[in-house]
């Protein structure tokens, strides 16, 4: 290995004592290839088996923990014990080369377009008709809030039973936990809304429940991570700023979170700067890293598609997550380790069968394109994937010929 890249393969320890042998992470990415009931398919297993060496930490796509929280027609579910056999097999595939397997769990809240189509309801912190949604969001009752907190605990039990090494709470990307944190979507006046502290309460209650269950159910140390979108700013619509997120991050770190995963969107987004507030124009991830101050690792992601970019990303975080690159070049880290950097390619033309790319990736091509990481040849190749005859999609999902 070229000595320049040695830092990418230095061990990293989590607060709970678990250690990984390097700094690469496979980011959670929806591939939309499960069965309609959320159970795992053979394509899912093959996909992760092929990527068992992609990183030292592998994270599943988000698993919805409530039958009333489905965004895509063919995404992973973890709301029922029927999901356990497939998830057990998936965990084994992810861990087959020594990596730690992490299950990402979420509730989609207002983004539950499939649930809304099938059941006529999509929940959120408050009853609101957003201009970008075709339906009104139904505000959650106190009982529903408590149910959802409990669903995260139930998902933790299932993750442990299936053999996963940890669980990542998905508090990012405009899903339910972020909706509670945002003043744009949370108009509540009870203990779950209003002040920054009250808007943080839902996320912290979920973390506390997940940690409680993990301590009760797991005989071994169990990794607990939290994914956060550090800002929610859309023009003049400001849901929260980096300053607000630092409060929530501090609360999570003080409660014993094992890592923070910073979710930033766009080209080279791991370098993104704060749009406003006390840290305006400063690197978001470097600010977060400074505030955490080595108390737990920070995972950064976004536009990491070369060995040089991976190395540079360590200036912004402790662990480097690959998303689009993990689909196109699952041997990325291994090629760096074995001094074959010049063999790294993100062009999948003629390689899709060998790469075990599931058909459902075609339906989320637009997400991969937005990162700016993949070449046009790869995007064109994804368009050639053939969807099964049974494949249907909710009305607000992208339609493909």
> Residues 183-201: pLDDT tens digits?
999 999 999 999 999 999 9
Residue 366: band (very low, low, confident or very high) from pLDDT cuts 50, 70, 90: confident
3 state SS of 376: helix
- Answer yes or no: are the C-beta atoms of 284 and 300 closer than 8 Å: no
3 state SS of 38: coil
Q: How many CA atoms lie within 13 A of 213 on its CB side?
A: 21
- Answer yes or no: are the C-beta atoms of 356 and 47 closer than 8 Å: yes
Q: What does the alpha-carbon distance between residue 303 and residue 300 come to, in Å, rounded to a whole number?
A: 10
> Residues 73-112: pLDDT tens digits?
999 999 999 999 999 999 999 999 999 999 999 999 999 9
**Mean of pLDDT over the chain:** 95
pLDDT at residue 267 in the model: 83
The helix (H) or strand (E) run that includes residue 366 is: helix 365-370
Q: What does the alpha-carbon distance between residue 242 and residue 304 come to, in Å, rounded to a whole number?
A: 22
pLDDT at residue 4 in the model: 95
Q: Residue 293 region, left (φ>0) first, then alpha (ψ -120 to 50), else beta? A: left
Q: Where would I find the beta strands (DSSP E) of 129-178?
A: 138-139, 166-171
pLDDT at residue 344 in the model: 97
Residue 258: band (very low, low, confident or very high) from pLDDT cuts 50, 70, 90: very high
pLDDT at residue 250 in the model: 98
pLDDT at residue 388 in the model: 87
Question: 265: which DSSP letter?
Answer: -
19, two tokens: 């250690």
pLDDT at residue 393 in the model: 61
Backbone angles phi, psi at 59, to 5 degrees: -115, 130
3 state SS of 149: helix
> Residues 25-81: pLDDT tens digits?
999 999 999 999 999 999 999 999 999 999 999 999 999 999 999 999 999 999 999
3 state SS of 57: strand
* Residue 392 pLDDT greater than 80, yes or no: no
- Once rounded to an integer, what is the mean pLDDT over residues 341-351? 97
Percent pLDDT > 70 in the chain is 98
* Residue 2 pLDDT greater than 60, yes or no: yes
CA 358 to chain centroid:
18
Task: Transcribe 61-95 into DSSP letters.
Answer: PPEE-STT---STT--B-SSGGGHHHHHHHHHHHT
């Amino acid at each position: 290995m070229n000595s320049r890249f040695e830092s990418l393969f230095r061990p990293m320890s989590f607060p709970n004592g678990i250690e990984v042998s390097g700094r690469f992470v496979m980011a959670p990415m929806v591939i939309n290839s499960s069965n309609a009931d959320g159970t795992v398919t053979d394509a899912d297993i093959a996909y992760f088996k092929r990527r068992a060496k992609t990183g030292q930490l592998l994270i599943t796509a988000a698993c919805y923990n409530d039958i009333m929280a489905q965004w895509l027609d063919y995404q992973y579910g973890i709301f029922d014990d029927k999901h356990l056999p497939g998830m057990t097999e998936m965990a084994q595939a992810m861990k087959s080369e020594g990596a730690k397997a992490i299950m990402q769990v979420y509730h989609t809240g207002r983004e539950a377009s499939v649930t809304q189509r099938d059941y006529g309801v999509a929940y959120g912190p408050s009853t609101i008709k957003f201009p970008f949604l075709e339906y009104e969001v139904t505000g959650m009752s106190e009982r529903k809030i408590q149910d959802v907190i409990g669903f995260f605990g139930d998902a933790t039990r299932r993750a442990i039973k299936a053999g996963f090494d940890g669980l990542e709470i998905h508090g990012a990307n405009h899903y339910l936990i972020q909706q509670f944190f945002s003043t744009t979507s949370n108009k509540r006046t009870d203990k779950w809304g209003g002040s920054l502290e009250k808007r943080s309460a839902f996320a912290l209650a979920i973390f506390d429940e997940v940690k409680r269950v993990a301590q009760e159910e797991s005989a071994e140390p169990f990794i607990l991570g939290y994914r956060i979108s550090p800002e929610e700013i859309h023009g003049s619509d400001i849901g929260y700023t980096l300053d607000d997120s630092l409060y929530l991050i501090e609360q999570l770190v003080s409660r014993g979170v094992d890592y923070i995963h910073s979710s930033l969107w766009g080209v080279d987004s791991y370098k993104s700067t704060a749009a406003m507030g006390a840290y305006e124009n400063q690197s978001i991830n470097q600010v977060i890293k400074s505030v955490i101050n080595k108390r737990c690792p920070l995972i950064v992601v976004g536009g990491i598609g070369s060995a040089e970019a991976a190395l540079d990303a360590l200036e912004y975080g402790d662990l480097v997550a690959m998303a689009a690159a993990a689909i196109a070049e699952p041997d990325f880290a291994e090629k760096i380790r074995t001094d074959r950097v010049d063999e790294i390619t993100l062009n999948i033309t003629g390689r899709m069968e060998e790469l075990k790319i599931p058909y459902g990736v075609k339906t989320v091509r637009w997400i991969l394109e937005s990162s700016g990481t993949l070449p046009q040849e790869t995007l064109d190749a994804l368009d050639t994937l053939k969807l099964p005859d049974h494949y249907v999609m909710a009305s607000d999902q992208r339609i493909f010929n």
